[in-house]
Amino acid sequence: MFQPITDLIPHRPPFLFIDEVVDHSETTLTARRRWRAEEDFYSGHYPSSPITPGVLLCEAVFQAGAAFMSLQAQAEGAEPGAGIPLLAKISDVRFRHPVYPGDEVFIDVVKKEAMGGFTMMSGQVKKGDGTRVLTVSFAVAWKVPESN
């Protein structure tokens, strides 16, 4: 069992879009998220036919990347919550299938390379049945707050 997401990343509801980490290795992380029908954004994002906004699906990937980096920092001796993820670049986003209220998705991130303080990653979202929802490439910097 992994740490609660709120111990890994600074995001909090209503802007927390991963429920738990289900797998992790030196170069990968898989998280899970169930999109709940009562979430406020569904009331305005196509009210007669609600659909999960693509930007929030991307944010779920970025949060999974942040959780990966937090676990990596802890493996190197950092205290939990000792850093803040800063998104530096987004590219090659491809949306393939919609996500509806009630859908459960799995979010996979893969570390490609790290250089100059940035970690380049790729991510994807798949529904529980394996249907690919989106793919994206991105870069994250892990910022350790300066002490006062």
For 55, the enclosing helix (H) or strand (E) is helix 54-75
CATH value of 5-143 in 2.60.40.420, 3.40.50.1970, 3.10.129.10, 3.30.70.2170: 3.10.129.10
The model's pTM is: 0.94
| Active-site option among 11, 24, 45, 97 | 45
**Regions of the chain with pLDDT less than 50:** none
User: Has 11 been annotated as catalytic?
Assistant: no
Which residues are CB-contacts of 29 (< 8 A; sequence separation ≥ 6)? 21, 23, 64, 65, 67, 68, 71, 108, 109
pLDDT of residue 147: 61
pLDDT reported for residue 78: 83
Residues 91, 97, 103, 106: what is their CA dihedral angle, to the nearest 10 degrees? Answer: -40
d(CA 148, CA 138): 31
